Amino acid sequence: MALKLVDDDLDVSFEIPLNDEARYILSVQLQRASEAKLKPQFEERLCERLQELVDADLRPPTSKQVAYALDIARNLDVSLPSEALRHKGSMFEFLDRYAPLYKERCKPSHETPAQPAE
């Protein structure tokens, strides 16, 4: 027997084959989760697991990546694409392109300060 995952908006469905034991365990879990007080916790856990299945480049960037990219954009006066704020893949592209220039501009100068005249 299979479990069916359906996205009505995209008109896409997946049939996930399950052996009898896995199907039985899942049916017990779904019955438990259908209780009003348990449903939100189950939905949250399910959502977390589904997000783990998404390709890494489609996941959201970390808050540190966003902060770094915002610093770069501000310092270099370049626009930060909205896709970079939504997806790690686009964020990596932005950082790969601009981080070297940002680091170069922020590098401390090693010049010796001029000596004051006596």
Domain contains 118: no
Residues 72 and 48 in one domain: no
Domain contains 79: yes
Domain that holds residue 31: 2-53
List C-alpha distances in Å: 110 to 100, 107, 113. 18, 9, 9
Please tell me the pTM assigned to this model: 0.67
Task: Check pLDDT > 60 for residue 104.
Answer: yes
Retrieve residue 84's tokens: 């970079």
Domain contains 97: yes
Residues 11 and 45 in one domain: yes
Question: Total domain count for the chain?
Answer: 2
Interval 20-57: pLDDT, tens: 999 999 999 999 998 889 999 999 999 999 999 999 99
Residue 103 is predicted with a pLDDT of 95
